[in-house]
Amino acid sequence: MDTSRWEAVIGLELHAQLATRSKIFSGAPTGYGAPPNRQACAVDLGLPGVLPVLNGTALSMAVKFGLAVGATVARHSVFARKNYFYPDLPKGYQISQYELPIVEGGAVHISTEGASRRVGITRAHLEEDAGKSVHDVVSGRSAIDLNRAGIPLLEIVSEPDMRSAAEAVAYMQEVHAIVRYLEICDGNMQEGSFRCDANVSVRRRGEHALGTRTELKNLNSFRFVERAIRHEIDRQIAVLESGGTVVQQTRHYDAERNDTRPLRDKEEANDYRYFPDPDLLPVEIDDAFVESIRSALPELPGDRRRRFVADYGLGLDEARLLTSDRHLANYFEATLGDEGADPRLAAHWVTGELGAHLNREGRDISASPVSPEMMQGLLRRLRDGTVSGPVAKEVLKAMWDGEGDADHVIEGRGLRQVNDDDALSRLVDDVLDAHPDQVSQFRSGRQKVLGYLVGQAMKASRGKANPQRVNALMRARLTE
Amino acid sequence: MSGPAGIPSAGVSEEELAHIAHLARLALDPREVPRLREELARILALVDEMNAIDTADLSPMAHPVETAQRLRRDEVGEEDRRELLQQGAPEVEDGLYLVPRVVD
């Protein structure tokens, strides 16, 4: 299969659950993991006679997103009914926005392997989430939990601007970082707080008309998005190369088999007969409201990433890792308060050794037992030569385990680096006396054993000896 | 069905009526079909009449009430009333509503 003759065209629909306390149209709570139907009130159930009332915070969050991506925030927007039948949608319609969404236009900038691209945002609109259907707990029945019904969603629709699975993931990660920076979505993909559907088509390179697309569902991790899209591109190319045609349909991604299969006929599914919801009045917002939100916008991940590269001299990958999470970026910057602080050293320790501790225990940076101040104290001792790298790892581990700050651990455990030449000379003499064979090997020309002897001295000092000084003293003694 | 402004609609074909009824999950008695088509044709004729009016200078009205949507504070104000609400459900198990099995 010759994939180089083909070009993929990808657009994403992202659903971000907005991090409100209560639902978009009712006062029921939104917490994750409650027992079935304990957080579903009469409005969420769509009982007759109830009236939805819009949650002002959900509206502010949507506006916040629009401003963050440079979009137009509509001063006048309308809620519409999207009509379809499914048991986890008890009203028979989902309240969404259609003709006049709250956010239109805007863009996100991504870069993959050095190339950068602007991905346009068509629109972002507010809607309510549906409930959950479970098909395997009661035989012959579907079981419905409506706790999720009415949780506010922001559906973010991109232009078909991406050309590879890697670009799709980069875009999704960028939007994921933005919504978390804005603190409008917790971004937890396992819990379904951030979801992705992908529209994928292919066309011959150089052609402008779009090919027939399929919509991929059930992409609930960055890894699955990449794998599913890659798989779907290959499938479509194979169909076209063998003289077939791509059928417009929704396909469900099966992560276990790394395969997609058709879900339903898109034509009928798309006949939603939208119309303005008579229960909800048009949403009018004024400039003062928009400006008050704009003035409170935080620095966004893309800006912060560029600043980390320009001001701190970090590599792009390191900057991207540090800025992927606002709290991580804050943590990093909080370790730089010292005069003479070394941002690259700090980045190395925060993403490296501290990152390894966090990963091992599955903790978020905000739950790190080592505070930025404690990390700053350790970095200070690394810079002034009180401890070497290997000893600093031991100090970090001790701080992680609750033994106090770096100076406390260094004094308490006697880890201060030995720089005193008298003490180091005694150490060198002891090692040489204990290894007469290696000494004579060195003297007969096998200079490589020096590394071994230095290693023995470092071991004897439990890592505390200044390795450069040991090396120099040992070489001097051996060549006397 | 109804065309763009000014162009009269040709009513509703039997196929269109069946399609709309299916989308609304309505089971139509075949004997009702002629009467329903006639009624829908009259409704669409009314729409045609409105479509004939030049509305270029008018802004669309999404709602007959000329006020804007009132906003709710983001506060939890509903307590859990699952037991009461589930009294009206035909079938319930472990707090879940049971319905005839639907397969994706």
10 Å CB burial of residue A399 (0-12, 13-18, 19+) is: buried
Per DSSP, the three-state class of B10 is coil
In A, residues 382-421, which contact B (CB 8 Å cutoff)?
none
Distance from CA of B21 to the nearest CA of A (A): 12
* pLDDT surpasses 70 at A264: no
- Residue A2 pLDDT exceeds 70: no
**How is domain A421-478 classified at the CATH fold level?**
Arc Repressor Mutant, subunit A (1.10.10)
pLDDT at A4: 81
Q: What is the pLDDT of residues B37-64, one digit of tens each?
A: 999 999 999 999 988 999 888 887 767 7
DSSP assigned state of B89? -
> Which residues on chain A are in Cβ contact (under 8 Å) with B62?
78, 100, 276, 282
Subunit contact B68:A283, Cβ cutoff 8 A: yes
**B chain contacts of residue A42, beta-carbon cutoff 8 Å:** 81, 85
pLDDT confidence band for A259 (50 / 70 / 90):
confident
What value does the CA radius of gyration of chain A take, rounded to a whole number of Å? 30
Contacts of B100 in chain A (CB under 8 A): 141-142
Mean pLDDT of the A283-295 span: 96
- The pLDDT, as a whole number, for residue B58 is 86
The angle at the Cα of A268, spanning A262 to A270, to the nearest 5 degrees, equals 90
In SS3 terms, chain A reads as CCHHHEEEEEEEEEEEECCCCECCCCCCECCCCCCCCCCCCHHHHCCCCCCCCEEHHHHHHHHHHHHHCCCEECCEECEEEEECCCCCCCCCEEEEECCCCCEECCEEEEEECCEEEEEEEEEEEEEECCCEEECCCCCCEEEEECCCCCCEEEEEEECCCECCHHHHHHHHHHHHHHHHHCCCCCCCCCCCCEEEEEEEEEEECCCCCCCCCEEEEEECCHHHHHHHHHHHHHHHHHHHHCCCCCCCEEEEEECCCCEEEEEEEHHHHCCCCCEECCCCCCEECCHHHHHHHHCCCCCCHHHHHHHHHHHHCCCHHHHHHHHCCHHHHHHHHHCCCCCCCCHHHHHHHHHHHHHHHHHHHCCCHHHCCCCHHHHHHHHHHHHCCCCCHHHHHHHHHHHHCCCCCHHHHHHHCCCCCECCHHHHHHHHHHHHHHCHHHHHHHHCCCCCHHHHHHHHHHHHCCCCECHHHHHHHHHHHHCC
- Chain A nearest-CA residue for B86: A37
Are A38 and B62 inside 8 Å of each other by CB? no
Q: Is the pLDDT of residue A268 over 70?
A: no
Q: Which two tokens stand for residue A46?
A: 């769509």
**Which amino acid type is present at position A146?**
L
Please tell me the distance from the alpha carbon of residue A318 to that of residue A335, in angstroms, as a whole number. Answer: 16
Q: How confident is the model at residue A138 (pLDDT cuts 50, 70, 90)?
A: confident
A281 lies within 8 A of chain B by CB:
yes
Give mean pLDDT, residues A153-170: 97
Residue A443 has pLDDT above 60, yes or no: yes
* Pairwise pLDDT comparison (A9 vs A261), residue with the higher score: A9
A31 touches chain B (CB under 8 A): no
What pLDDT, on a 0 to 100 scale, did the predictor assign at position B46?
A: 93
Minimum distance, in Å, between the CA of residue A353 and any CA atom of chain B: 40
Phi (first) and psi of residue A55, to 5 degrees: -75, 120
Q: Which residues of A touch B81 (CB under 8 A)?
A: 41-42
- Please classify residue A288 by burial: count the beta carbons closer than 10 Å to its beta carbon, then call 0-12 exposed, 13-18 middle and 19+ buried: exposed
Residue A194: band (very low, low, confident or very high) from pLDDT cuts 50, 70, 90 = very high
Interface test with B, best of A134, A139, A281, A284 (most B CBs within 10 A): A281
pLDDT band for position A319 (cuts 50, 70, 90): very high
Residue A1: per-residue pLDDT: 60
Residue A198 to chain B, least CA–CA distance (Å): 18
Lowest mean pLDDT among A1-5, A70-74, A82-86, A181-185: A1-5
Pairwise CA distance, residues B48 & B60, whole Å: 17
Read off the pTM: 0.84
Across chain A, what does the average pLDDT equal? Answer: 93
Q: For residue A385, what are the CA distances in angstroms to A391, B35, B48?
A: 11, 94, 86
A450 vs B65, residue with greater confidence? A450
The helix (run of H) or strand (run of E) holding residue B23 is helix B14-23
**Annotated domain spans of chain A:** 3-291, 301-413, 421-478
Whether the pLDDT of residue B4 is over 70: the answer is no
Band of residue A465 on the pLDDT scale cut at 50, 70, 90? confident
Share of chain A above pLDDT 70, in %: 98
d(CA A361, CA A324): 19
The pLDDT tens digits of the residues spanning A92-115 come to: 999 999 999 999 999 999 988 778
Residue A421 pLDDT greater than 90, yes or no: no
> Residue A34: is its pLDDT beyond 60?
yes
pLDDT greater than 70 at residue A126: yes
Stretch among A49-53, A54-58, A257-261 having the lowest mean pLDDT: A257-261
Question: Given a cut of 80, is residue A44 above it in pLDDT?
Answer: yes
**Rounded CA gap, A108 and A212, in Å?**
25
Cβ-based contacts of B80 with chain A (< 8 Å)? 38-39
Yes or no, beta carbons of B72 and A135 under 8 Å apart: no
Confidence category of residue A393, pLDDT binned at 50, 70, 90: very high
Window from A136-140, A179-183, B44-48, B72-76 with minimum mean pLDDT? A136-140
- A305 strand-pairing partners: none
Tokens 């993929």: give the residue.
A8
pLDDT at residue B1 is higher than 70: no
Nearest CA to A96 out of A110, A74, A77 is that of A77
pLDDT of residue B2: 41
Residue with tokens 């504070």: B73
For chain B, domains (ranges, CATH) are 4-51 (1.10.20)
Local confidence band at A70 (pLDDT 50, 70, 90 cut-offs) = very high
Q: What is the pLDDT of residue A182?
A: 97
Q: For the beta carbon of residue A245, count every other beta carbon within 10 angstroms.
A: 10
**Residues in CB range of B7: below 8 A, 6 or more apart:** B48, B51
Nearest CA distance, B3 vs chain A (angstrom)? 16
A271 touches chain B (CB under 8 A): yes
Interface size A-B, in CB pairs within 8 Å, comes to 130
pLDDT above 70: residue A150 = yes
Query: Is the Cβ–Cβ distance between B77 and A22 less than 8 Å?
Result: yes
Res. B104: pLDDT tops 60: no
The pLDDT value recorded for residue A337 is: 86
Measured from the Cβ of residue A116, the count of other Cβ atoms closer than 10 Å reads 9
Helices (H), B24-69: 33-51
User: Does B83 touch chain A if contact means CB atoms closer than 8 Å?
Assistant: no
| Interchain pair A138, B93: CB under 8 A | yes
Average pLDDT for A339-366: 94
Of A141, A271, A280, the CB nearest to B99: A141
Cβ atoms of A99 and A78 within 8 Å: the answer is yes
* pLDDT value for A267: 44
**Residue A39: closest C-alpha in chain B:** B80
